[in-house]
Amino acid sequence: MSLNTFDTLLVANRGEIACRVMRTARAMGLRTVAVYSDADANARHVREADEAIRLGPAAARESYLKVEAVVEAARRSGAGAIHPGYGFLSENGAFVEALDQAGIVFVGPPASAIAAMGDKSAAKARMAHAGVPLVPGYHGDDQDDALLKAEADKIGYPVLLKASAGGGGKGMRVVESAAGFQAALEGCRRESQAAFGDQRMLIEKYLTQPRHVEVQVFCDSHGNGVYLFERDCSVQRRHQKVLEEAPAPGMSESLRREMGEAAVRAAKEIGYMGAGTVEFLLDADGSFFFMEMNTRLQVEHPVTEMITGQDLVEWQLRVAMGERLPLAQDELTITGHSFEARLYAEDPEQDFLPATGTLTRFAMDLEGAGLDPARVRLDSGVETGDAVSMHYDPMLAKLIVFGDDRAQALATLNRALAALDVQGVVTNRAFLQRLATHPAFRDADLDTRFIEKHEETLFAPRRYSVEEYAGAALVGLNQLSRECESDSPWDRHDGFRVNAPHTIRIALCPPTQNQAHTQSPDAEGVVVVEGTREDNAGPWHLTIGGETLTARLDPLAGDAVAMTLDGHRRRLQARRDGNVVVMVDPRGETRLFWRRIDAIDHGHHEAESTLTAPMHGTVVALLVEPGVQVEKGMPLMVMEAMKMEHTMSAPADGHVASFHFQAGDTVGQGDVLLEFAPDE
C-alpha cells in the first residue's frame, strides 16, 4: 500500500469519536464523510464532515449497525477507507470482510484478529500459548446452567460472569455467592443477547482488590509492534470506566516493561495490525493477568496521546496506508501525567439513570478559570442546542487534562470540571468532582471497587454551608427580579414593600428532597433577605440560622458571577435551572431547590400509588403477579435503556394492583408503568 491508497475517509460512527477522528483526518488532508441516523440528522459530527450520508432510522440496528448500509455509503461517497471509531461495528469481523470484498480499506486489524479476540474463551487459549498470564476461570463451550454453576463453585466465590462475545460492561456481573448465581446468569444472558446477539458466558475468579491497568499497543503490516505504555482505569461503575489516567500510579519500570512486552506478544499472537488495547488486572503483589483485548481505539486513548505527544488516530491512518510505525520502542517516552473524565448525561443521585433533553448551553470557560488551553482538551460530539437522544450511549464528552506530575494534573482536572457549563440535561459532573477530590483518589489508593468502597462518602448526605445557602438565595432572587418585566412596583415579586426594605423569605433544600415531598427544610435552609438597592446586585442583608451577612452578586461573563459576603469575594458559575439553583467552583457543585417560604409544601408524604418510567426504554420482565403481597424494596419489574437494565422496586409494603405494560413493550419517560396499592 502507499499514501495514495485513499484520499477520502468515511467515519462509521457518531458523537465525540466521529468528531475526533475527522479532526485528524482533515489535518492529514483527507476528505471526511459522516454517516447518520434519523436521530442524528443535525448532529455535530454531521455538521463538521465534508459530506454526510443517511443510514436509516434512529435504532442503531437499523442504521449504525447495518453493514450493507455503511458499505453502500462508502461506495456513494467514493471513500477509500472506513474508520470505525469504537462501539457499533468497530469489532465486527463480518463488517471487515465485507469491506475487503468491496475493496475498501478498514482502519483497524484484520477480521481474523478481531475473531481471535472477539470470542473471549478462545482468546484465553491463544494468550496461554503466547505466555500471557491468565486469571483462573472457565472458558468452555458447554453452556449448561448446571455445569456453569459447578464451575463457579469450583473456582470459588466471588466470581465474575462475563458475556463471551462482548465488552463495555454489558452482560457482566459479580456473583458473591452460590445462592445468587442463577439470577445473575439469567440477567447477564438477557443483557448479552440484547447487546451482542449471543448468550454465551465465561466465568473468572473475581479478584477482590485488583487494579485495571491496560496497555496501548500498535502493530504495522511489516511485523513491527510497540507498546505506548499503560493507563489506569480502575475507577469504574457497573464495570464501565469513569476516570482514567496515564501513566498508572506506582508502576516500576520493570513492571511497565513486563506488562508492555506481554501486551505486544498478545497482539503478535493473533497477527494484529493497528491500534489495540490489552487489558490486565494488576494485583496488589504486582502479579498481573490478561483480561481481554479491545481490537480498536479506546475511549481513553487521549491520555496516552497527552503523555507521549503522539496522535494515535494519525498512527492508525498511516498504518492503514501501509506505512511502518512512526517510532520504535526505544524512541517512545513518557512526559508528565494525564487524566480523562467521562461526562455523561445521567443522574448519579438517581442510580445513574440516563438523561435526555436539549443542551441549552454547552461551554467551557478556560480563560475565566485561569487554565492553559494547551493542557486542557474537551473531546465532545455536542454543542449548545443539540439534543441528547435516548437511542445511544449517554456520553457527552471527554475532559482530558495534562500536568507535569499527577498532583498538578489532578488540580487542573478539578478546575476544568468547574469550568464546564452544561445546561438542559442532568450530568455526572458533580460526581466526577467528588471522585477527583476524594482523599483516596488523590493518594492513588485505587482498585476496581473504588466507588463501592467509598460509596458512603461519595454519596453522603450534604451538609450545606452558610455560604452555599447565601449564594443559592441570591442567584434565585436575582433571576426572579430579572423575570419581572413591568416597571410598576405593584407588579414586582422580589420582596418590594412601600416605605420599607425589600424583604423575602426563601426556603432551600436538595432537589431530591423536594421531589420526594418531604417536610420543609430546617432553619438552616431558610434565608431571610432584606435590603434597599437600585439594581439586582445588592447590597443585601441575609439572615441564615441566626447569622447575618452583607452580600452582593455581580454578573461576569456567561454564567459566571462574583459573590461577595462580608467583603469575601468568590468567583463561581451560577444559574437557576427552573427552580433549582446550580453553583459550581473548583471545590464542587451545589444544587438547591429554591422557593419562596410561603410556597413550601407541608403536606404529609404518602407512598406513591403509581410508578412511572424514569427514562425511555423497553420493559424486559415483570417480576411479580398482581395482587401478590410484596415488601418495600422488592423488585417489581425490569426495564432496559441504553443496553443497561434498571429495576423498579416497591415503594412500600403492599401489592401491585395492575401493570400497564408487558415484557417487550416500549415506554416513554414519565409513562405510568403500574398501579401500586400500599398497605394501610
What residues are annotated to the active site? 296
Distance of CA 181 to the CA centre of its chain: 28
Q: Would you mind telling me the total number of residues written for the chain in this entry? A: 680
Q: How many other CB atoms sit within 10 Å of the CB of residue 177? A: 10
Residue 599 contacts residue 584 (beta carbons within 8 Å): no
**Cβ–Cβ under 8 Å, residues 617 and 646:** yes
DSSP state of 500: B
Is 648 within 8 Å of 586 (Cβ atoms)? Answer: no
CB 632 within 8 A of CB 653: yes
Please tell me the distance from the alpha carbon of residue 81 to that of residue 540, in angstroms, as a whole number.
63
| 676 Cβ contact partners less than 8 Å away, ≥ 6 residues apart | 607, 608, 609, 610, 611, 636, 650, 651, 652, 654, 655, 656, 657
CA separation for the pair 393, 410 (Å, rounded): 26
d(CA 591, CA 515): 13
Q: Which amino acid is at 176?
A: E
Q: Kindly write down the DSSP assignment for every residue of 565-632, as one continuous string.
A: ETTEEEEEEEEEETTEEEEEETTEEEEEEEEEGGG---PPP---SEEE-SSSEEEEEE-S-TT-EE-T
**Per the omega criterion (within 30 degrees of 0), is the bond before 158 cis?**
yes
What is the Cα gyration radius of the chain?
Answer: 27
- DSSP codes, 257-273: HHHHHHHHHHHHHTT--
- Cα(490)–Cα(511) distance, rounded to whole angstroms? 31
Report d(CA 184, CA 638) in Å as an integer.
14
What's the CA gap between 521 and 542, in Å, rounded?
17
Secondary structure of residue 384 in the 3-state scheme: coil
Q: Per the structure block, which three cell numbers stand in for 39?
A: 436521530
Which grid coordinates are listed for 426? 442532568
Residues contacting 232, CB < 8 A, separation 6+ = 211, 212, 213, 244, 245, 246, 247, 248, 249, 446
CB count within 10 Å of CB 316 equals 22
Cα angle for residues 494, 496, 500 (degrees, 5° grid): 145
> Could you tell me if 319 and 273 are in contact, meaning their C-beta atoms sit under 8 angstroms apart?
yes
Question: 3-class DSSP state for residue 294?
Answer: strand
Distance CA 552, CA 532 (A): 12
* Gap between the Cα atoms of 347 and 182, Å rounded: 30
- Which residue type, as a one-letter code, is found at position 294? N
* Grid cell 475487503 in the structure block, residue: 100
